[in-house]
Amino acid sequence: MRPEVLFPLFKTQNTLKGVGPKLEPHLARLTGEHVVDVLWHLPSGAIDRTFQPKIDEAISGQVATITVRIGQHVVPSNRRRPYRIICHDDTGTLVLTFFHAHGDYLSRTLPEGELRVVSGLIEHYGEEIQMSHPDHMVKVEDVDEILRLEPLYPLTHGVSQKILGKVIQASLKETKDLPEWLDASLQEKKGWPKWQEALFAGHNPTDMQDLQASAPARVRLAYDELLANQLALGLVRRGMRRAKGLPTIGDGLLRKKVTKALPFTLTKSQQTSLAEVIADMESDVRMLRLLQGDVGSGKTIVALLAALAAVEAGGQAVMMAPTVILARQHLKTIEPLCQAVGVNTTVLTGREKGKTRAAILEGLKSGGIHIAVGTHALFQSEVEFQDLKLAVVDEQHKFGVHQRLELAQKGRAVDVLVMTATPIPRTLMLTAYGDMDVSRLLDKPAGRQPIDTRVLPSSKLASVAGRLQSKLDTGARVYWVCPLIEESEKLDLAAAEDRHRQLQSMFGADNVGLVHGRMKGKDKDAVMEDFKRGHLSILVATTVIEVGVDVPEATIMIVEHSERFGLAQLHQLRGRIGRGSGASTCLLVYKTPLGKVAEQRLKIMRETEDGFVIAEEDLKLRGAGELLGTRQSGIPEFRLADLEIHQDLLATATDDAKMILNQDPELQTKRGQALRTLLYLFERDAAIKFLRSG
């Protein structure tokens, strides 16, 4: 149960003064729907309203707060002309101008002959000093309300600075001084304010330094958010560990036979990672391990050998992939090896229907099928296993954490191995995968070729197409990638189709294929198969080939509009070539003018093939939220912490969370109880259920 002290913060915003049915949907879109969501919406800038000159000292282009005597209201005869109010002090005249004015409101607010304080931007027109639409117009006794650094907030349609400022001040009134969850010595050493003080300071800056991410109030709030996240991950991890595991101990015979049959020897990283996975499976603690390896580092073979350990122990294994193409690719890799040692495999996706599907379901339930490869279809309730011991989830960031757990519930104490080819920077590893042990495949399998990456403007594309013929004559195969971006999906699809037609006219209709996301699965598979078999020399594609396509003969990758892609995506695409013995070339074609970030990206691609280096650079260029694409990525969205700026805080929060769970595992002490409040405050409630009591 959420502590009572937090009830006011989790009321909906329509309980705040001034938030009516018209404002509420816009506000919810901007910040979220609860009072606490408004509090997390910190200012991004400020206007200094403390400059109080006389009229003749007012500087053009600067905001000024001036006390004036209201003079004549000049009402225009034509609505297109401005409504003007002539004001004075003992040094000169100031003209307030209003377009589309409501005269009755202005005569009530600024009555002739009265003293008023106005604040706004000063403009000089010839001899005349003007202020158009003052931001504030108040009585002299209320001047202190505006004589301050006024925070500026990110806005959305339907929400103005003035309204949002009032809503935020109303939200601050709902806060209470919460019990302190910070370690006292850390707080003293860092000089951080209390939680409520930090919030007030964050929303009421006294100088421009207070708006920096390094300001004590902001650092304190960022740390609270990171600590809540790391503590929640620690609790989930421990909860998963508590669920007793079942040791899976195989005799190693199947693994030995398959390893012998491989046309290559396992790399050092593969051997180390496999040993870590097998040790986890043989222990009585449930495995929750992330296998992280660059494109083509040989994760599938490690997963297969782990699956064979499950089969040796009399159980079954399942391997789940985000797309049908990737699922079929995995099956193609493992099926011949499994057949050779008498292990039955199958594929289950949304495409298996009728009798085929019924036979697969029966095989899984009876135990006749040992290893199943598939997509989301594996989650469905009618899918039952005789004895599922291992679940492998590929490209984890395409699935939510809950889906990973759902799959693990298809058996008793199922071991979970998660794989990703998207290199994840250490910072994100800590915040998103802190509940997992990690194995990394750092070396590429023998025989992988380095890729020559070049960058060129689209004006040179015609000459590239011209030079392709000589490569095709030697049997080369080419990926030609056109972007597909949702906002202009139809436009981009047309571009891919146009490019397809153009290349067909140059190289022959039978030589060039096209695949894109809108094609039916069977049609897509047929084209891919033709390309693999060499019936097609050029494959024009959208990014559907980003993951899981293995054609060793493909040695050329051309990416059009490469400036539109993120680094991780470019790296994934490039990983489709360099898989055979031929020298490979990747051409990144860009449209001028090239933006600064895009230029940086392409420079990094040219300089390195190391996925981990690329991931770290991508984090710097794009920030964490965008790095893996979507909210569903499992990467938490931080409102107060910026992972690039607050990396040192993350390390401290990680250590702090570990220490807390060692010293007070059930959060029962005074600080422990305060930390429960922190978890609820940042809506990490799910972690609380892993505590034994409370």
Please tell me whether residues 200 and 100 are part of one structural domain: no
Domain that holds residue 547: 451-608
CATH of the domain at 83: 2.40.50.140
Distance, in Å, from the CA atom of 411 to the CA atom of 290, rounded to the nearest integer, reads 20
Q: Is residue 36 part of a domain?
A: yes
Which DSSP state fits 454? E
CB of 478 closer than 8 Å to CB of 554: yes
Distance, in Å, from the CA atom of 389 to the CA atom of 414, rounded to the nearest integer, reads 5
What ranges make up the beta strands (E) of 133-171? 136-138, 149-152
Q: What is the pLDDT of residue 692?
A: 62
3-state secondary structure of 574: helix
Distance of CA 470 to the CA centre of its chain: 42
Q: What is the pLDDT of residue 674?
A: 96
Distance, in Å, from the CA atom of 651 to the CA atom of 214, rounded to the nearest integer, reads 16
At 81, the amino acid letter reads: R
Q: What is the pLDDT of residue 647?
A: 81
CB of 304 closer than 8 Å to CB of 278: no
Contacts of 501 by beta carbon, 8 Å cutoff, 6+ apart: none
Alpha helices in 508-577 (DSSP H): 521-533, 567-574
The torsion angles phi and psi of 149, rounded to 5 degrees, stand at -80, 115
Q: Is residue 69 part of a domain?
A: yes
Q: Of the candidates 294, 545, 566, 296, which has an alpha carbon nearest to the alpha carbon of residue 424? A: 294
Please tell me whether residues 319 and 271 are part of one structural domain: yes
Q: Is residue 502 part of a domain?
A: yes
At which residue do the structure tokens 């047309």 appear?
Answer: 494
Distance, in Å, from the CA atom of 326 to the CA atom of 373, rounded to the nearest integer, reads 10
At which residue do the structure tokens 């040219």 appear?
Answer: 606
Q: Which of 608, 643, 669 is the last residue of a domain?
A: 608
Distance, in Å, from the CA atom of 321 to the CA atom of 300, rounded to the nearest integer, reads 11
Q: Which of 408, 441, 474 is the last residue of a domain?
A: 441
Q: Of the candidates 668, 544, 660, which has an alpha carbon nearest to the alpha carbon of residue 232? A: 660
Query: What pTM was computed for the model?
Result: 0.66
Contacts of 419 by beta carbon, 8 Å cutoff, 6+ apart: 290, 291, 292, 293, 299, 303, 392, 393, 394, 395, 396
Cα-Cα-Cα-Cα dihedral sign, residues 129, 135, 139, 145:
negative
At 462, the amino acid letter reads: A
Q: Is residue 364 part of a domain?
A: yes
Cα-Cα-Cα-Cα dihedral sign, residues 23, 28, 34, 39:
negative
Please tell me whether residues 18 and 112 are part of one structural domain: no
Q: What is the pLDDT of residue 546?
A: 53
CATH of the domain at 541: 3.40.50.300
Please tell me whether residues 525 and 390 are part of one structural domain: no
Please tell me whether residues 427 and 344 are part of one structural domain: yes
3-state secondary structure of 77: coil
Cα-Cα-Cα-Cα dihedral sign, residues 316, 318, 324, 327:
negative
Please tell me whether residues 41 and 58 are part of one structural domain: no
Please tell me whether residues 421 and 328 are part of one structural domain: yes
Please tell me whether residues 199 and 320 are part of one structural domain: no
pLDDT digits (tens, 9 = 90+) for 226-240: 999 899 888 877 876
Q: Which of 586, 608, 630 is the last residue of a domain?
A: 608
CB of 348 closer than 8 Å to CB of 358: no
Please tell me whether residues 275 and 367 are part of one structural domain: yes
Q: Is residue 390 part of a domain?
A: yes
Distance, in Å, from the CA atom of 629 to the CA atom of 45, rounded to the nearest integer, reads 28
Q: Is residue 687 part of a domain?
A: no
Q: What is the pLDDT of residue 277?
A: 97
Q: Is residue 659 part of a domain?
A: no
Q: Of the candidates 646, 654, 579, 595, which has an alpha carbon nearest to the alpha carbon of residue 619? A: 646
598 membership: H or E segment, kind and range: helix 596-607
Q: What is the pLDDT of residue 579?
A: 78
**Positions of the chain with pLDDT under 70:** 240-241, 243, 295, 396-407, 422-423, 425-428, 431-435, 445-447, 484-494, 543-549, 622-636, 692-694
Please tell me whether residues 21 and 73 are part of one structural domain: no
Please tell me whether residues 391 and 261 are part of one structural domain: yes
Q: What is the pLDDT of residue 485?
A: 44
Please tell me whether residues 353 and 426 are part of one structural domain: yes
Q: Convert 89-120 to b/e letters by CB count within 10 Å (16 or more is b).
A: beeeebbbbbeebeeeebeebbeeeeebbbbb
The phi-psi region of residue 501 (left if phi > 0; otherwise alpha if psi is between -120 and 50; otherwise beta) is alpha
| Tokens representing residue 11 in the block | 């009321």
Number of domains in the chain: 4
Distance, in Å, from the CA atom of 476 to the CA atom of 295, rounded to the nearest integer, reads 21
Q: Is residue 615 part of a domain?
A: no
Could you count the other beta carbons within 10 Å of the beta carbon of residue 547? 22
